[in-house]
Amino acid sequence: MKTSTSTSKPSAKYHHGNLRQTLLAAAKQMIAADGIESLSLRKLADKVSVSRTAAYHYFDDKNDLLCAIASDGFRQWQQLLKQSEQQNQTERQKFEQYLINYMVFATHHPEEYELMFGRCIWKQAQCTEELQTIAHGTFQHQVEMMAYWQSIGLVAGDNPLRTAQIIWGTLHGIAKLFIDGVYVDDTRAEEIVKSALPMFLVPKD
């Protein structure tokens, strides 16, 4: 799961080999441990036993590095989605599974999730071309799924884009309130999502 040269061996080689991957892996590990805010390029360089500015050969910016992590996050999410779609269940089950997957992914990778959908990258700091395209693809896919679920009479509404925005908004909001620590009671995010599920469905008879 982890490149052998990342944390264990400094390896003392001038040419590191695959520094880019090592940096990304170490950075993910660090933000998972201490949060995005407390990630500095210098501490990252220290951890990888490399100079302060070595990362600048692979990333334009700190922002560029964070964008790369976010892109990886989207790839991971897409893979999880594809994997889940292949299981043969009823469409209703697939829909429910989609909602739960979203929640599990968000709450299990809170920092990556923040990078993927948070303000840091999308707002002021412009996001990478790569990130923009992969993110847009994910949204597109989501809208298409919604259109299909509406066409077979599972999900309510007749405007897939609008419905996707609402459902995504709901998931995103619940996820963020959890991640950011606003919901302090012991309620589980998945339970809330399961409660919200019937809202989205076409009423059964």
Partner DNA sequence: CCAGCATTTTGACAGTGTCAAGATTGATTG
Partner DNA sequence: CAATCAATCTTGACACTGTCAAAATGCTGG
- Stretch near its own copies under the rule CB under 8 A, chosen from 20-28, 55-63, 117-125, 143-151: 117-125
CA distance 78 to 81: 5
Does 52 engage in binding with DNA (CB under 7 A)?
A: yes
In whole angstroms, the minimum distance from the beta carbon of 157 to its own copies comes to: 8
**Residue 145 near residue 98 (C-beta atoms within 8 A):** yes
Sites for its own copies among residues 120-179 (CB under 8 A): 122-124, 156-157, 159, 162, 165-166, 168-177, 179
**Residue 52 near residue 136 (C-beta atoms within 8 A):** no
Strand-pairing partners, residue 155, are 201
In whole angstroms, the minimum distance from the beta carbon of 131 to its own copies comes to: 12
Sites for DNA among residues 56-85 (CB under 7 A): 56-58, 61-63
Cα radius of gyration rounded to whole Å, the chain: 20
CA distance 174 to 91: 23
CA distance 13 to 16: 6
Does 205 engage in binding with its own copies (CB under 8 A)?
A: no
The candidate with the shortest Cα–Cα distance to 141, out of 77, 58, 72, is: 77
95 binds, among its own copies, DNA, none (CB under 5 to 8 A by kind): none
Looking at the Cβ atoms of 72 and 114, the one nearer to its own copies is 114
Q: Which residues bind DNA (CB under 7 A)?
A: 13-17, 19, 39-43, 45, 50-54, 56-58, 61-63
